[in-house]
Amino acid sequence: MRKITTPYYLIDEKKLQNNLKIIQRLRETSGAKAVLALKCFSTWGVFDLMRRYLDGTTSSSLFEARLGYEKFKKEVHAYSVGFSEKEIKIVRKFADKIIFNSISQLTMYHPLVRGLKLGLRVNPGISYSHFDLADPARKYSRLGVVDRHEILRVAPLLSGLMFHFNCENDDFESIANAIDFIGQQYGSLLERMEWVSLGGGLAFTQEGYPLAEFSAKLKTFGERFGVQVYLEPGEAAITGCAELVTTVLDVVHNEIDIAIVDASVEAHMLDHLIYRTTPKIAAPEPGPYRLMIAGRTCLAGDVFGEHGFHKPLAIGDEVRIADAAGYTMVKKNWFNGLPMPAIVVRRLDGTVEQVRKFSYKDFKHSLS
């Protein structure tokens, strides 16, 4: 393999395909469809592989919806917390389904989208999240409609409903109980619909997940109400398939050795900083020698965490940060003017391709 200058994101298509095959199996056994959540992952350089296993994309903005239409070229679900009139006039040209976040947006824009398949996001008042910041049903949540009577009133305008109420839910009993709850509380509405989305945030591709039970639950739910069930996998589709590859630039000491790498948590793995989580290290191999990995921005807390290695790190050593796909590449930014990591893909046949390299020109034109 030709030496690629760090930092870069490395996506492994074989690892990605492992997740996609699980999604395909679930689709086949449950009858549910799966649309990729572009808010989590929108690196279209691997869409050729992903479209073999997924039914389309779901978006949170006009630009994401357009990207799904142009690059994934399958079903397009267009959702936004708030559409502008200009955006509605554009997105109606290519969206298969337009999903509104509120009744006010639905009724305001209905004259512009009459005849299209329209959906409404529902806040069922239940959720699963490890973080209040990401809890769709948190107090005063603006995400979705709470009042069931108001939803019934506008039901004639709708072909479907979206319930997105999970974040990193790896507890099958939790989602099973939630699906039962939705059936009990919204059954009369569901019977009037053609489709229902149960959203994303479900960790059903992780090892040991009871996929057969989950599949049976979805199948029963869809058949009971006569609706096409959709899932919106994001992390489930791409978890464990990518790394952020970096090089040690310096090693300093302040009570502990600190290896400064040519990347940044703030700029290149922002989700960890937001949620105060610590990324895992894919390489070098672990061991007893404790050392801190830190980024090179001026932010004091730009730290990848303290980790154990089999030997001290030195200038020039390579460090690979694990799980650098979901909610990572979509949030990268130009803080401190650091070089943006290139995007590299290891294809199914083992060849390695640099699909995008960023330059000073990209940095300059991102500002003005």
DSSP E strands, 16-174: 33-37, 56-59, 75-80, 97-100, 117-121, 160-162
pLDDT of the residue at 144: 97
pTM for the whole thing? Answer: 0.94
Whether residue 348 has pLDDT greater than 60: yes
Domains of the chain: 14-238 (3.20.20.10), 240-365 (2.40.37.10)
Average of per-residue pLDDT across 249-256: 97
Average of per-residue pLDDT across 336-351: 97
Residue whose pair of structure tokens reads 């492992």 in the numeric block: 18
Among 99, 100, 26, CA closest to 57 = 99
Backbone angles phi, psi at 308, to 5 degrees: -100, 135
First to last CA, the chain: 37
Asked if 307 contacts 281 with a C-beta cutoff of 8 angstroms, the reply is yes
Q: Could you tell me the two tokens for 11?
A: 């996506």
In our burial notation (b when 16+ CB lie closer than 10 A, e otherwise), range 2-28 reads eeeebbbbbbbbebbbebbebbeebbe
Whether residue 262 has pLDDT greater than 60: yes
pLDDT of the residue at 2: 66
CA gap 341, 246 in Å, rounded: 9
Whether residue 1 has pLDDT greater than 70: no
Question: Residue 83 corresponds to which amino acid?
Answer: F
